[in-house]
Structure 1
Amino acid sequence: MIHPPDQPTALHAGGDNSIAFLIGVTADEWTLLILRHALQGVDSFDQWLELLPISPPVLSGRLRRMAELGIVAVSGDTYPLTRRGAALWPMIVTLAGWEKVWGDDHVEPLPRLRHLRCGADFTPLMACGACGEVAAARDVVGEFGPSGSWPRSAPSAATRRPAGGSANLGPSFFPQSRALIGNRWAAAMLSAAYLGATRFSQFHRQVGAPATVIADRLRVFREVGVLHAEGDQDRADRATFRLTDKGRAFFPVVMSGVEWSQRWYVAPEGPALEFQHRDHRFWMLLLCAECEKPLAGRDIEVG
């Protein structure tokens, strides 16, 4: 299925929902790194080959899949971002902002975010678009909507990324974020944590990954510092796992991806996830932490 780049894709009733597309598209290290450079103006095959430690077949596969999904257009050897692709800027900006505040051991400098309206280097600040109030993850409650369920949110063969490993990705990607959303199981487990999963059995039942994968992701999340364990810390099946401040601070990254996917991949039953802030529906507004004005993609320089 070819997805039109400038209008939302109508999904099939009862099939993969928007979250499945989000995980299938963005829970991939290469795709996010290609996007990072695309938002800086890179659009040619040779430029990406120069910038990334990626093989031509893997790059070709990713770009072909991104074109099928309407994220890039194809014009000879160039792949410019479409409206759908450019709309992913909040996810890349919140990733960079989170790494700047919470990441460590960066082998290479992180991208510099500059707000052209005020001229300052900035980190993004999450606010409620309905009421304008700055909001933390604790202030927002999410639940499945009409098209939401764990089976429908798991990427099928139609929504998964193409084959091609990332073991030699190198140090230029956001290193901490790789552990959280670098593959579909990690992204699904992080989503489960935000929706209230705290026990091994809950992660296992909801995400549907093998038990060994669940145990490994819980270990990695603890090492990164986004979850902490209470109870028997030597037995994952007996411990309770809760989000840390660092884990909750990643919520704007997830929220930006959810809003993008629900804008561009629309299920006939309604949204997959719904969010509430106080007594009203929540939608995310990103502010510049320096001037506290709303951010827009055209006003951000990524360098």
Structure 2
Amino acid sequence: MMHPPDRPSVLGAGGDNAIAFAIGVAADEWTLLILRHALQNGTRRVHDWQAVLPVSTAVLTSRLRRMTEVGIFVPVGPGHDPNAVEYHLSRRGTALWPIIVSIWAWEATWADGQAERLPAMRHRGCGELFAPLLGCGTCGRPVPPREVTGEFGPSGSWPRTAPNTTMRRRSSGSASLGPGFFPQSRALIGNRWSAAMLGAAYLGARRFSEFQRRLSAPATVIADRLRTFRDLGVLEVSGDPDRSDRSTYRLTDKGRAFFPVVMSAIEWGQRWFLAPEGPALVFHHRGADHAFSVLLLCSACSAPLAGREIEAV
């Protein structure tokens, strides 16, 4: 099914909700890397992506085809010659900029071992270097992750949100990417189970049995992701570290700092994929008695950010 690039898609009742679509799009490391260069550098052609990414033609064209189907890119040019086609970001695709900017900032602050120096970000609005701050779209104030609460809405449930067999896809050749391509972010959301596991942690899952019950994932998958998150320092373990079923897992400061990435992905999904029953997740600004929506603010001038006002330096 082709999704219109410049207006929201209406989903079928009772099927995959907006979060499942957001995971399906964003939780793929090649997709994240393709988006990074499209948004940051204006990359539009197959050979230009291949000049900066160690990606095969088959993998790249597969991802571009999928991203076109969900309305992120609009191909322009002769269809018979893939090398001559330009993939232009649609409004839906351009709206993904908060995810990439949030990953960029988190990696620069929290990820060790970057082989590639991440450029700083300058806000054209004030002319200063900055880091994006998570703010509340209702009141405009900066909001720490602990002040945001969430619950399932009318179209929300774990079966409709968590990845299923048909949605999962292995990322071909990802091991060859090396440490310079957003390595820790790829480990956190670069595949669908990881993204769903991280979302479950933000919604309060603390024990192995809670992750398994909510996601209906194989025990080996849960154990592997918990081990990865612990090794990355986004979850800390109390109890018996050698017995995952007897341990409690809690987000660290590093894990909570990734919250803007996850919230930006959810916000994008719920903006562009509408279930007839209503939203999948509803968020509130704790203590402020109003709804929460994502607003990224400039740390230098406190003004709301827009993608076109951000430049790499």
TM bin, normalised by shorter chain, reads over 0.9
**Cα distance in 2 between the residues matched to 1:13 and 1:212:** 32
Unpaired segments ≥5 residues, structure 2: 78-84
Q: Aligned runs of 1:193-272 on 2, under 5 Å? A: 193-272=201-280
| Partners of 1:27 and 1:264 in 2: CA distance | 16
Structure 2 CA distance, aligned partners of 1:86 and 1:188?
Answer: 24
Are residues 1:10 and 2:10 paired?
yes
Task: Write the distance in 1 (CA, Å) between the matches of 2:21 and 2:167.
Answer: 6
Q: CA deviation at 1:112?
A: 3.0
Conserved 8 A contact 2:163-2:193: no
- Aligned-pair CA distance for 1:288: 0.7
Q: Which residue of 1 aligns with 2:80?
A: none
Code of the residue aligned with 1:50 in structure 2: it is A
Q: Does 1:63 align with 2:73?
A: no
1:280 aligns with: 290
The answer to whether the 8 Å contact 1:227/1:243 transfers is yes
User: What SS class does the counterpart of residue 245 from structure 2 fall into?
Assistant: coil
How far apart are the structure 1 equivalents of 2:168 and 2:75?
A: 21
Are 2:163 and 2:196, in contact at CA under 8 Å, matched by a contact in 1? no
Q: SS of the residue aligned with 1:179? A: helix
Flag the 1:215–1:199 CA change in 2: closer, same or farther, 3 A.
same
What is the Cα deviation at residue 131 of structure 1?
Answer: 1.3
* CA displacement at 1:163 relative to structure 2: 6.4
Q: Which residue among 302, 306, 313 is the counterpart of 1:296?
A: 306
The aligned amino acid for 2:11 is L
1:226-273 deviations in Å (ceiling 9; x for gaps): 100111111111000001111111111000000000000000000000
The letter for the 2-side match of 1:154 is: A
- Residues 105-114 or 32-41, more deviating: 105-114
Give the drift of 1:157: 6.1
Provide structure 1 residue ranges, at least 5 long, that are not aligned to the other structure.
none
CA contact (8 A) 1:110 1:174 kept: no
Which amino acid counterpart does residue 62 of structure 1 have in structure 2?
R
Deviation at 1:110, TM superposition (A): 1.4
Following the alignment from structure 2 to structure 1, what is the Cα–Cα distance between the partners of residues 24 and 165? 9
State the percentage of identical aligned residues.
64
- Number of matched pairs: 303
Distance 1:38 1:157 in 2: 29
- Cα distance in 2 for partners of 1:111, 1:189 equals 30
Please state how far the C-alpha of 1:166 moved relative to its aligned partner: 1.7
Greater mean alpha carbon deviation, residues 282-291 or residues 194-203:
282-291
Q: In the aligned structure 1, how far is the partner of 2:125 from the partner of 2:165? A: 43
* Amino acid aligned to 2:228: V
Other structure's SS at 2:76 match: coil
Paired with 2:76 and 2:165, the residues of 1 have a C-alpha distance of 27
Normalised TM-score (structure 2): 0.94
Please report the RMSD computed on the Cα atoms of aligned residues, expressed in angstroms. 1.4
Do the aligned partners of 2:148 and 2:284 also contact (CA within 8 Å) in 1? Answer: yes
Alignment of 1:43 with 2:53, yes or no, is: no
Distance in structure 1 (CA, Å) of the matches to 2:171 and 2:251: 31
Scaled by the length of structure 1, the TM-score of the pair is 0.97
Secondary structure of 2:178 counterpart: coil
Output one character per residue of 1:6-64: Cα deviation in whole Å (capped at 9) or x when no partner: 00000000000001101111101000000000002111111001110000000000000
Residues 16-165 of structure 1 correspond to what in structure 2 (within 5 A)?
Answer: 16-39=16-39, 40-76=41-77, 77-156=85-164, 159-160=167-168, 164-165=172-173
Q: Residue 174 of structure 1: which of 177, 182, 196 is its match?
A: 182
